[in-house]
């Protein structure tokens, strides 16, 4: 039995060394931008009067004047479907989520993996993606829940296809 364990450890060391060697000797991917295009992109990123975003569809990149983008976002938020909040509900949502998960049918071993870590969550981020395939190029509202109190639970539910 001990020989099997030692043999396993030797194999793990060998695999680790081989993996490390492959990572160190791997070639970098070919650059798809010329030096001039790379410099132009760098210059655009430094310009604070524009925003560079992905398009809603079509695998395209959009450069838009920040004032135009802000005006489109404000017009989206003027819709009665959106309401201004006076306080950040993130901490309250963390506590509520934790309580509901503890009362749920999720097994006790899995619960720590899906319960949000207190005070480490952040408010979901709202932004807009330009619909370049439409007239007047409207925005599609998007909410990113990365880092939010519900991210871990959502990942668990998606993985287990629980509705």
Q: How confident is the model at residue 78, as a pLDDT?
A: 92
* CA angle at 108 for the pair 102 and 111, rounded to the nearest 5°: 60
pLDDT digit string (tens) for 53-107? 888 887 888 888 999 999 999 998 999 998 888 998 898 999 999 999 999 888 8
Q: Give the model's confidence band at 132: pLDDT under 50 very low, under 70 low, under 90 confident, else very high.
A: confident
Q: Maximum distance among all alpha carbons in the chain? A: 72
Phi, psi of 142 (to 5 degrees): -135, 140
What percent of the chain stands above pLDDT 90?
20
Closest CA to 136 of 72, 73, 79: 72
Q: Which residue pairs from 84-90 have beta carbons closer than 8 angstroms and sit at least 24 positions apart in sequence?
A: 88/123, 89/123, 90/121, 90/122, 90/123, 90/148, 90/149
Global confidence as pTM: 0.64
d(C-alpha 110, C-alpha 126), whole Å: 30
């Amino acid at each position: 039995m001990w020989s099997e364990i030692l043999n396993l450890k030797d194999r793990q060391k060998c695999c680790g060394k081989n993996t490390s060697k492959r990572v160190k000797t791997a070639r970098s991917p070919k650059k798809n931008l010329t030096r001039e295009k790379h410099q132009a992109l760098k210059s655009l990123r430094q310009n604070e009067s524009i925003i560079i975003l992905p398009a809603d569809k079509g695998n395209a990149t959009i450069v838009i004047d920040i004032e135009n983008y802000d005006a489109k976002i404000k017009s989206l938020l003027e819709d009665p479907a959106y309401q201004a909040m006076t306080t950040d509900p993130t901490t309250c949502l963390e506590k509520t989520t934790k309580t509901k998960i503890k009362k749920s049918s999720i097994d006790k071993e899995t619960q720590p993996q899906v319960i949000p870590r207190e005070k480490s969550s952040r408010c979901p981020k709202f932004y807009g993606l330009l619909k370049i395939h439409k007239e007047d190029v409207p925005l599609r509202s998007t909410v990113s829940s990365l880092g939010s109190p519900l991210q871990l639970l959502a990942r668990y539910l998606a993985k287990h296809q629980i509705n």
